[in-house]
Structure 1
């Protein structure tokens, strides 16, 4: 047996493993014996099938398994003996020549190994970054107040329909009728919108529903007919406006304050404005913190100057996902992969450098936070603690979600540790300028 290393560069090795018949003969013999022991053929007792028949039927498989075992052992030994930190797994070399798979032959296999780069980062007060403190403008407060009042507004009787109003109408075509259908004027498309804008109770007009309401499911539901029936009908329907509903924002009064903030929390217009300002500032602070975290990540990766065996990684990604992705898809997403992968390597280095650990409480808290975010997205901002805990436990059972949460917790711990040792200055900035930084 002969193992030859060809160091292509600092991050790539081509390894050649040449084996002779004597290197795999014993393993091949044992594999054939195992097949014979378990072979079950009519006319022979189990385990007593002639060796010649077993070799004829299972010889190729036994040879493959024996050689694969020897090669695997030699790869593992080489990596361990040379203390290599490899990326992914070894790949068959593109220069591999075809072997003749015949027992007793010599074989030569070539493998490409991608090496993980050495990372060493020293951090101190000379490393400087900026945290942007976004200022709350009067316009932002006014816009947010208006939006809150809209959220707690209501539909009221209107006269002429505006573009943001609703029309309640009867649709008729022959003996078919759909009465009391709600039409959001803003959702009407094409020339038909002009017929609805300005419409009043009692107005009547014809509409091509296929052009006005392009979503077939919505159109079928509005007209109360199946999709099959709809396709067979003339698309032109007569519309009679029953009445108009216009959306009116809530009035700024105690009842509205209580609905938004809870009973008695806000009592005056000044307190309303202060609460709105506080909410905006909290949101801005979260954005600033996130931007700082992203800036720290980018700074650390740049400082580490992480070099990667990109050609190897591209092949490795493709070979391990060829049933899911084409090489064109791998190419398209490769830069994003490299960005995440570089951060992963830097993060792992800093976890060790700062001696950071993740415990069960960290994971449970992260899962609860993610569950709370999901509930909030569905309009449930105040979920009971027990429900959050149960949801978190279920989330952690999902392998992919668990892995993502581990990465998130690691990033948070590393960023927090880095903040303690570098210099972070604060800079006031308008929202407009902050958005331009993204």
Structure 2
């Protein structure tokens, strides 16, 4: 057997493997003999068919299987012995596959394309600058959240007269046509110029308006028709009021506190406001942390400047997902994939160099945190903790073990980022929600 490497560029190469008869024939003969001992061929007792007949029936398929197995193990061993890091999987050059004469050929040559990165220089110190953001929710945002909770947990009433914010339930009829529809009209969807005629209505009142002009958004959804029927909602229509619905905000009392956070969790208006603030801070700061970490990753990627074999990777993505993606989709998604790959390479190299590993106990704890977040608003605190081990085991064993590996990688990445933050010039900045939205947009 002969294996040669031909580098075409700094990150792409081809590997050629030449096999002669001595490399594969002993294994082929052994496998044919094994077939002969088990073969059940018509006209012969089991295991008694002549070797020549078994070889004629199964020899070619055995040859193909053995050569494929030999190629796979030999190529893997060869690539593992190299100093560069292989990306994706080797791609067999298949243009000449149909020219192989499996019945008569003795010597074979196979070629594979590979993509790799080499000579990685991942260094960082206090000369590398990055910013870590945290967010403090302002009082106006907290007040809005409390107002929304009061509205969400409020009670429905049926006042005599309509006012802004109400829902008017009634029958819509076309004046010069046969279109009719009964629906609930939220006055928040009515255009400001038309709103006046909807205020002060009582049960049984009739008003006339043009839905296409008076309803300012989501006309089809608001009236409850298909998009293709929207054109029918233009012109003069009457609306007969059947009922007026209004949501009265819930009082800031113990009943609301228990509904929102569970019995006995909050016992005063002040504690309720603090709890809302703490939850909002936690939720926003989870998003801010993801944003900050991505920016630090970007800084590292820019600093390391990994030269990826773009053409090879695009071909590999297309062939590895054959039938599932198109060339156009690969082109569109490649920048995202390339960034993820660069970070994976950097993270693994930092972990290797600094002996950073994710421990099993850390994986368990991170999974518990994830489960708690998913059930945060369910009010199942005590029951959840009692069944936590079951939830964690079921999740980590799911997806044929892939969930565990993904969580293991996530823990290692977090430890790598923590190590990076300790060793670069990291500025910590507290920002507002508006500033955070501005950063995301930019």
TM-score of the pair, normalised by structure 2: 0.77
Find the aligned partners of 2:438 and 2:98 in 1 and give their Cα distance.
56
Alignment-derived partner of residue 400 in structure 1: 402
Alignment-derived partner of residue 78 in structure 1: 78
Find the aligned partners of 2:189 and 2:254 in 1 and give their Cα distance.
37
Contact 1:117 1:306 in 2 (8 A): no
Find the aligned partners of 2:83 and 2:265 in 1 and give their Cα distance.
67
The structure 1 residue matched to 2:225, chosen from 210, 214, 229, is 214
Cα 1:5–1:30 change in 2 (3 A) is same
Identify the range of structure 1 (89-98 vs 35-44) with the bigger mean alpha-carbon deviation.
89-98
Displacement after TM superposition at 1:411 (Å): 2.0
Contact 1:163 1:185 in 2 (8 A): no
Cα 1:134–1:167 change in 2 (3 A) is same
Alignment-derived partner of residue 222 in structure 1: none
Find the aligned partners of 1:197 and 1:31 in 2 and give their Cα distance.
87
Alignment-derived partner of residue 415 in structure 1: 417
| 1:65 corresponds to 2:76 | no
Contact 2:150 2:251 in 1 (8 A): yes
Find the aligned partners of 2:225 and 2:189 in 1 and give their Cα distance.
9
Alignment-derived partner of residue 3 in structure 1: 3
- Tell me how large the CA RMSD over aligned residues is: 3.8
The CA deviation string for residues 191-245 of structure 1, in whole angstroms up to 9 with x for no partner, is xx99x96664245899x9x9932379xxxxxxxxxxxxxxxxxxxxx99755322
Find the aligned partners of 1:312 and 1:376 in 2 and give their Cα distance.
45
Alignment-derived partner of residue 295 in structure 1: 295
Find the aligned partners of 1:141 and 1:73 in 2 and give their Cα distance.
61
The CA deviation string for residues 307-346 of structure 1, in whole angstroms up to 9 with x for no partner, is 2222222222222221433333333322211111111111
Report SS of the residue matched to 2:115: strand
The CA deviation string for residues 1-24 of structure 1, in whole angstroms up to 9 with x for no partner, is 433321112222211222233433
Find the aligned partners of 1:433 and 1:381 in 2 and give their Cα distance.
35
Aligned residues: 404
Contact 1:36 1:49 in 2 (8 A): yes
Find the aligned partners of 2:28 and 2:265 in 1 and give their Cα distance.
83
Identify the range of structure 1 (35-44 vs 67-76) with the bigger mean alpha-carbon deviation.
67-76
The CA deviation string for residues 256-275 of structure 1, in whole angstroms up to 9 with x for no partner, is 5665567595646x776666
Alignment-derived partner of residue 426 in structure 1: 428
Matches within 5 A, 1:179-194: 183=184, 185=186
Cα 1:42–1:150 change in 2 (3 A) is same
TM-score of the pair, normalised by structure 1: 0.78
Matches within 5 A, 1:156-171: 156-161=157-162, 164-167=165-168
The CA deviation string for residues 14-40 of structure 1, in whole angstroms up to 9 with x for no partner, is 112222334333232223222222210
Structure 1, unmatched stretches of 5+, are: 172-180, 217-237
Find the aligned partners of 1:143 and 1:201 in 2 and give their Cα distance.
32
| 1:373 corresponds to 2:384 | no
Report SS of the residue matched to 2:8: strand
Cα 1:96–1:90 change in 2 (3 A) is farther
Contact 1:203 1:240 in 2 (8 A): yes
| 1:113 corresponds to 2:92 | no
Report SS of the residue matched to 1:40: coil
Find the aligned partners of 1:317 and 1:347 in 2 and give their Cα distance.
22
Cα 1:391–1:88 change in 2 (3 A) is same
Structure 2, unmatched stretches of 5+, are: 173-181, 212-219, 228-237
Cα 1:131–1:73 change in 2 (3 A) is closer
Displacement after TM superposition at 1:54 (Å): 1.8
Displacement after TM superposition at 1:248 (Å): 1.9
Cα 1:139–1:78 change in 2 (3 A) is same
Contact 2:183 2:224 in 1 (8 A): no
Identify the range of structure 1 (21-30 vs 38-47) with the bigger mean alpha-carbon deviation.
21-30
